[in-house]
Amino acid sequence: MIKKYFQLERKNIVMVQFIIEGYEGLATVTTMDSQKAVIQVSMMPDYISDLAGLLEYLKKRYAMKEIIDIKGNKINFKE
C-alpha cells in the first residue's frame, strides 16, 4: 500500500474525499488531522498511474500540497 499525505483547506476535505473514493477500489482517503487539514491517500501500487492524473487535477483545483520532508519522509504533522 502506498500512502501520500496532502494538506488542503479544511472546507475541501469532504469534496476531495468524495471525488477520490468515487473511483471505487482505487484509493481511500483518511483525515489524519482535521485542524491542520491533512489527509492520507492510500492506494495500491497497481493503480498509481490511474490516480496520477486525478491527483494532479485535485492538487490544482483544491490547492492540495503534498507533505514530505527533505529526505522524502512523511512529516509528523501532529506536533
Q: Which residue has the cell 487539514?
A: 37
Q: What is the pLDDT along the chain (79 residues), one digit of tens a residue?
A: 888 999 999 999 999 999 999 988 889 999 998 888 999 999 988 888 889 899 999 999 999 999 875 455 655 544 4
Grid cell for residue 4: 501520500
Grid cell for residue 66: 503534498
Report, at the CATH architecture level, how domain 2-66 is classified. 2-Layer Sandwich (3.30)
For the chain, domain boundaries: 2-66
CA distance 14 to 7: 13
This prediction has a pTM of 0.82
CA distance 54 to 58: 6
CA distance 14 to 41: 13
